[in-house]
Amino acid sequence: MQDQAELLREMMKKKNDSTPEGSDASSTRIITVASGKGGVGKTNISINLALAYARVGKKVIVLDADLGLANVNVVLGVIPKFNLYHVIRKQKTMKEVILDTNYGIQIVAGASGFSRVANLTDDERNNFISELSELSAADIIIIDTSAGVSQNVLAFVEAADDVLIVTTPEPTAITDAYGIIKIISTEIDNLDMGMKLIVNRAANITEAKKVSHKVINIAAQFLNMKIDYLGFVYDDPAVPAAVRKQLPFMISDPRGPASTCIQHIVNRLENVEYREGRGVGHFIRRLLKRMD
């Protein structure tokens, strides 16, 4: 493992040395979206955040990192010819699998249906990490992880600039949100990522704040962890309707309650109180460090 990681570092150094002078690659912001359980709307949040960023002129790539049960492309109604499986197996480069959409964002489709991809060999993992450097032209990379806390999820969490934990007002979702935060606090030594909470499918502002206060206060009291409340998304009937049409709700109902909430969340993320991106190079170095 160490030899492979050292070789990969050498490859990354060569790529960094060849980056054109004046490139903005170092400011790419990586946002990892995670959840304690499935079914809380994490993928929908990821895609529509990307669209909201695109609205303000950002170049955005959504990376479907749910290795095994990917569905970013399903929500968007696109059928990619190639995906991360082909990158991991060295059949295609990352640049070859980046897919343009009709909505002003790009996606990298996950490897849906390939169960073995969820358990990568060292060589496959290193190749995948190396290929991530091809995403450095983006302003924003949003990583849609699998639900729960696998080692893959923890790696993407630790390396990100911002980590968005998505929950809903359901008691099981709240419990699982706290569960993933607890695991992150015990498994990751250097907690310098900005960890933030989004409450999805809230009936109103009061319900969203009640849920957020519960999670944030328990994390502060028992884990000594600071979690910022980033905002909420209304329980909007336009959302499931859009999913059935395989359209992002920011497209099907751009001025609806859910879309307005997403735009407010992006506005907060872009506010000066939140950090600038540290770049794909930093992201890859953190992934490598966790591999060691």
Which tens digit of pLDDT belongs to each residue from 214-238? 999 999 999 999 999 999 999 999 9
What 3-state DSSP class applies to 102?
coil
What 3-state DSSP class applies to 139?
coil
Percent of the chain with pLDDT over 90: 63
The dihedral over CA atoms of 103, 107, 112, 117, expressed in degrees to the nearest 10, equals -170
Report how far residue 200's alpha carbon sits from residue 258's, in angstroms, rounded to the nearest whole number.
Answer: 9
Beta bridge partners of 231: 198
Q: Which residues contact 30 (CB under 8 A, 6 or more apart)?
A: 141, 143, 159, 160, 161, 162, 277, 278, 280, 283
Report how far residue 141's alpha carbon sits from residue 33's, in angstroms, rounded to the nearest whole number.
Answer: 11
pLDDT (tens digit, 9 = 90+) per residue, 89-126? 899 999 999 999 999 999 999 877 665 555 677 788 78
pLDDT (tens digit, 9 = 90+) per residue, 254-267? 999 999 999 999 99
Nearest in space to 187 (alpha carbons), one of 230, 237, 150:
150
pLDDT (tens digit, 9 = 90+) per residue, 48-73? 999 999 999 999 999 998 877 788 99
- What pLDDT is stored for residue 251 in this prediction? 97
- Report the b/e string of 70-96 with b at 16+ CB within 10 A: bbbbbbbebebebbbbbbbeeebebee
Length of the chain measured in residues: 292
Query: Which DSSP symbol is given to 53?
Result: H
pLDDT at residue 273 tops 80: no
What number is the average pLDDT over the span 7-33?
Answer: 60
Report how far residue 284's alpha carbon sits from residue 95's, in angstroms, rounded to the nearest whole number.
Answer: 17
- What pLDDT is stored for residue 10 in this prediction? 56
Q: What is the mean pLDDT of the chain?
A: 87
| H or E segment to which residue 31 belongs | strand 29-35
Q: Which residues contact 228 (CB under 8 A, 6 or more apart)?
A: 194, 195, 196, 197, 216
The dihedral over CA atoms of 9, 12, 14, 15, expressed in degrees to the nearest 10, equals 180
- What pLDDT is stored for residue 25 in this prediction? 47
- What pLDDT is stored for residue 115 in this prediction? 56
